[in-house]
Structure 1
Amino acid sequence: MNQEWSVGEKETSYVLKAAIQKAGYEADKAIIRDINLQVGPGELVGLIGPNGAGKSTTVKTIMGLMPSVTGKVEIGGRHKRYAYVPEQPVYYEYFTLWEHLRLAASVFGITEAQFEAKADRLLQQFRLTEQKHHYPMSFSKGMQQKLMLIIAFLLEPDIYIVDEPFVGLDPRATSDFLTLLQSELARGAGVLMSTHVLDTAEKICQSFVLINQGSIVAQGTLDQVRRDAGCAEDAALSDCFLALT
């Protein structure tokens, strides 16, 4: 594997920078090629593309989870800290919701006073206070997804890497998530969000990276994506998606 992961000493103008020449499960079988993207402080970048286009591979490469990679990933920001919210919730079978939050806080050195105040507030915002001492294995998919989001928001990272966050969330939970996301962007955090919910992405993302067949086919603001797709000036993101894929 030929992969560099840098967290430099100086605060940078980006919170995530990836220059991936190629990546895959085997050295001679690249799934993605020439993926170059950057997320700045306070910027929400939408990673979009059809199923099998390479979005998940891109996210896994950024996370350092792919076995064969040629390229470089840099985490910037003040603390060089990232939080990952997977599409499929991951949890410990014999830990309660509260124990999951306490574990995450302890790993990142959050004090007990800071932890309890913020954790209680997040549980209240996502309406999970009554399930505080319950086991996530008994939760619905939406409730499990809320747990993943609460852990991420608890950590206050420099960059959020979020994979299909709307799956399983009801409209109220989606609204709560977007409200918290906006406050984190205002704080200076960046977000790379992989999603199929294009109408929402069009409303909330400052820029987009559209991947098809393992490579970037359009990148930039919605106006830039429209030009790349040869679409009208008022075309929806979904129209550009269809034109490019």
Structure 2
Amino acid sequence: MALKQENGVVPALQMSKLTGGYSQRRPVLHGVSITANPGEMVGLIGLNGAGKSTAIKHILGLMAPQSGEVRISGVTLEENRDKYRSSTAYVPEQPSLFPNLTVKEHLQWTAMSYNLDKNSAIARMDELAVTFRMTEALNALPGTLSKGMKQKVMLMNALLVSPPLLIIDEPFLGLDPLAIRGLLNALEEVRAKGSAILLSSHILPALERQANRLVVLHRGNIIAGGTPREVKAQAGCTNPESTLDDAFEALVIAAEGGNLGG
């Protein structure tokens, strides 16, 4: 049965007490719960090796939970594979494109794969090309693009779909300042249309400004969560000038027993 909140809204993402990883003997995640509701941006933060990528792989259905479950738009992968898969789009940290398809053909292929209305998709493609300053590159092949431009293509494809759940891993790497601003504006647009966003990033100032809620992972455990203000309070950062960077450092130091290098 689909999970519902008290207000009757089905979460776009509901990870419930998930334990998982590559080995039954040494799980990476330990009872992790993450919820993303329609129109929300949830920031996933943690050091390298904290379990962020493993959590994303479980959400994408690439790994099976050892215990707990993941629901997207109210269903598990086993209950309704088609709905689960079509309800999410994923942008990895490293761009992965078809070498023989132009930028425009990538967008057209995505539109067909998700059965988008042709005219609406064309109009949205043009909007995204302007947003990311990629209009002149629409007929270019991936081999002629910089890494930053390849990342823009990945983001454009995901934003073209605007699914119930959009998962983005380190989207700001390789983007120029104007592209970052365009991305943040585009994410606001899809949130306004009801999409939930799970965004994993080390660029904490952007998450502090944009995210509704944060999940702080450390060694596979959630060590803090809530609004940016709540996370800072949990870290003991009571100074009004304290930043999310300050709070994250304090949380990790506490989790490491007072030794950041431990």
TM-score, length basis structure 1: 0.91
Which secondary structure does the structure 2 equivalent of 1:83 belong to?
Answer: strand
Question: 2:40 aligned with 1:43, yes or no?
Answer: yes
Superposition RMSD in Å = 2.1
What are the ranges of 5 or more consecutive residues in structure 2 without an aligned counterpart?
75-82, 253-262
State which of 148, 158, 173 in structure 1 corresponds to 2:164.
Answer: 158
Aligned to 1:120: 126
Larger strand fraction of residues? 1
Aligned to 1:242: 249
Which secondary structure does the structure 2 equivalent of 1:19 belong to?
Answer: strand
The percent of aligned pairs where both chains have the same amino acid is: 39
Q: Spell out the pairing of 1:1-245 with structure 2 (5 A cutoff).
A: 12-66=9-63, 69-76=66-73, 81-234=87-240, 235-245=242-252
CA contact (8 A) 2:44 2:200 kept: yes
What is the identity, as a one-letter code, of the residue corresponding to 1:46? G
Which secondary structure does the structure 1 equivalent of 2:20 belong to?
Answer: strand
Q: Give, in whole Å, the separation in 2 of the partners of 1:67 and 1:19.
A: 13
Q: Give, in whole Å, the separation in 1 of the partners of 2:157 and 2:243.
A: 33
Q: Give, in whole Å, the separation in 1 of the partners of 2:18 and 2:140.
A: 44
Q: Give, in whole Å, the separation in 1 of the partners of 2:66 and 2:88.
A: 20
What is the identity, as a one-letter code, of the residue corresponding to 2:247? C
What is the identity, as a one-letter code, of the residue corresponding to 2:229? D
What is the identity, as a one-letter code, of the residue corresponding to 2:38? P
What is the identity, as a one-letter code, of the residue corresponding to 1:25? Y
What is the identity, as a one-letter code, of the residue corresponding to 1:97? V
What is the identity, as a one-letter code, of the residue corresponding to 1:189? S
Note the C-alpha offset of 1:111. Answer: 2.7
After superposition, the Cα gap between the structure-2 partners of 1:135 and 1:69, relative to the gap in structure 1 and judged at 3 Å, is farther
TM-score, length basis structure 2: 0.85
Note the C-alpha offset of 1:8. Answer: 7.5
Note the C-alpha offset of 1:20. Answer: 4.2
Q: Give, in whole Å, the separation in 2 of the partners of 1:138 and 1:151.
A: 18
CA contact (8 A) 2:3 2:11 kept: no
Note the C-alpha offset of 1:142. Answer: 0.6
CA contact (8 A) 1:44 1:207 kept: yes
Q: Give, in whole Å, the separation in 2 of the partners of 1:20 and 1:98.
A: 41
| 214-223 or 58-67, which deviates more | 58-67
Q: How many residues align?
A: 239
